[in-house]
Amino acid sequence: MAVKAAHLEKYILGDADMNGSVDASDILVISNYYIGNTPEINETAADVTKDGLIDSQDITGIQQIYLNSSNNINRQRIRRK
Ligand SMILES: [Ca+2]
């Protein structure tokens, strides 16, 4: 597992695009990376499973982090008529 020193600085796990929060843009950027494009990502933050690889499990992991955080903030009850 090659981790560059710059990647050992402070980061939020899942914040692949380093904009300070885990949101839909991180899912987009890691998906892009996974299919072979080369967006600027923080590989350490993107590797949420911490196995040294960026793969589909990390995409799922970031989705989980994002969905959990948005559930906590925006949780609303749906009213049925
Ligand atoms: Ca982000």
Domain boundaries along the sequence of the chain = 2-80
Terminal C-alpha separation, the chain:
54
Ligand 1 centre from 42 Cα, in Å? Answer: 10
Ligand 1 centre from 23 Cα, in Å? Answer: 6
Ligand 1 centre from 44 Cα, in Å? Answer: 13
Ligand 1 centre from 41 Cα, in Å? Answer: 9
Alpha helices in 1-81 (DSSP H): 24-34, 43-46, 56-74
What are residue 31's phi and psi, to 5 degrees?
-65, -40
CA distance 48 to 13: 6
pLDDT above 90: residue 73: no
CB 18 within 8 A of CB 30: no
Tens-digit pLDDT profile for residues 24-55: 999 999 999 999 998 999 999 999 999 999 99
pLDDT above 50: residue 22: yes
As a CATH number, domain 2-80 is 1.10.1330.10
